[in-house]
Amino acid sequence: MRPTVYDIAAAAGVSLATVDRVLNQRPGVRIVTREKVEAAIRDIGYVRDVAAANLAKGRVYPLVFILPTGDNSFMHGLYAEVRQAMTRSSLERTEIRIVQVPAFDPPALVAALDALHGQDVAGVALVATDAPEVRAAVDRLVDARIPVVTLVSDLTGSARHHYAGVDNIAAGRTAARLLGRFLGGRKGDITVLAGSMLVRDHRERLEGFAALMAAEFPQLRLLPVLEGRDDPEITSGLVSEALAGSNDIIGVYSLGAGNRGLIRALKATGQGRGLTVVVHELTEHTRAALQDGTIDAVLNQDAGHEVRSAVRVLKATADGQGFIAGQERIRLDIFVKDNLP
């Protein structure tokens, strides 16, 4: 049987309470006593039973998820995953609250962030809009010793404790490689479709995409980026227009959301043009389009993984526990027609 607090207590010749104080780095223990206990812990090779500890603590973690509004399947999916996490609340001793803010709106995000001060909050997860004032608001929370995790889109340069999302530069490069290879040496134009250059994830995807394209597929020319604000309607219009305006387009990279609109436009205008299309986020729409051949590859971040990782990291940080970063890495999934889950 593995050693328990009793074993440490016996070995160190102290009581349970003292062992607990040392274990949880609480004050009220003489330095010599502390060292004696720490030695015993090391000697015996004690590992704390987290489940038992949580049971005894009875602690609950009030967490806040700040999510942007947005009528696209990815956002719907993200909300669904957070709600899913809410149903697990009783088991995981969390108490999750969703705060909605308008998308791509730094002041609104700042207001939501600042409103959290003084509230009973054990941790905050937010889909960051990249702006200095948001960075500052996040830093204020961190200063107030509230754990903060960015979700889906990061906020580099801020003091956030963790980013639960994919490496978006790598995502852009991956898209470029697939598009380039699938096009097999053909020459032509590529239309790039983004949500907004205001969010870091989109900027980074574009950056990675453009860099690899330039380096390895010089025969492909990138057209100016279209910004569809992750909205299916706007996106549809932009794409239709672009396709109608040029016959040199042979590929499309959609690095944001709102692909429902893209797919509609492709079916209306792009049919039979043999376009090669790579998009982000697996949703019911992109899945169907992959199946019927409208889309050739989907890059995906698993929103469920991201939410669960955010919760784990927030809880661990709230406990001052640290986490294994490698274990929390979010993978970039590639889907073609044949490996759909």
Partner DNA sequence: CTGTTAGCGCTTTCAC
Partner DNA sequence: GTGAAAGCGCTAACAG
# residues near DNA by CB under 7 A: 32
Decide: is 45 part of the binding site for DNA (CB under 7 A): no
Q: β-pairing, 226-227 with 220-222?
A: unpaired
Site string for DNA, 181-210 (x = CB under 7 A): ------------------------------
Ramachandran angles phi, psi of 7, nearest 5°: -60, -40
Q: How far is CA 133 from the centre of its chain?
A: 21
Minimum distance of DNA from residue 314's CB (angstroms): 18
Residue (of 234, 238, 334, 218) closest to 286 by Cα position: 334
Residue closer to DNA, measured from CB, 44 or 80: 44
181 binds, among a copy of itself, DNA, none (CB under 5 to 8 A by kind): a copy of itself
Closest distance of CB 29 from DNA, Å: 4
Distance from C-alpha of 119 to C-alpha of 301, rounded to nearest angstrom: 31
Judged by beta carbon, residue 12 or residue 155, the one nearer DNA is: 12
Q: How far is the CB of 70 from a copy of itself (least distance, A)?
A: 25
Helix (H) or strand (E) holding 64: strand 61-68
Rounded CA gap, 195 and 18, in Å? 56
Cβ closer to a copy of itself: 179 or 198? 179
Q: By CB under 7 A, is residue 60 in contact with DNA?
A: no
**Residue 173 interacting partner from a copy of itself, DNA, none (CB closer than 5 to 8 Å by kind):** a copy of itself
Among 25, 42, 45, 58, contact with DNA (rule: CB under 7 A)? 58
Residue choice 72, 73, 158, 174 for contact with a copy of itself (CB under 8 A): 174
SS3 257: coil
> Residue 21 touches which of a copy of itself, DNA, none (CB < 5 to 8 A by kind)?
DNA
Rule CB under 8 A: is residue 187 a binding residue for a copy of itself?
Answer: no
Rounded distance, CA 74 to CA 259, Å? 9
Give 194's strand partners.
Answer: 227
Q: Whose Cβ is closer to DNA: residue 44's or residue 108's? A: 44
Residue 191 Cα distances to 145, 181, 238, angstroms: 44, 16, 10
Q: Does 4 help bind a copy of itself (rule: CB under 8 A)?
A: no
Q: What whole-number distance in Å separates Cα of residue 57 and Cα of residue 51? A: 10
CB atoms within 10 A of CB 331: 11
How far is 101 from 127, CA to CA, in rounded Å? 10
Residue 39 makes contact with DNA by CB under 7 A:
no
Nearer to DNA, 52 or 340 (CB): 52
Cβ closest to DNA, residue 25 vs residue 339: 25
Tell me the C-alpha distance between 96 and 36, whole Å: 41
CA distance 47 to 219: 58
The contact set with DNA (CB under 7 A) reads 1-2, 4-6, 13-21, 23-24, 28-30, 32-34, 46, 48-49, 52-53, 55-59
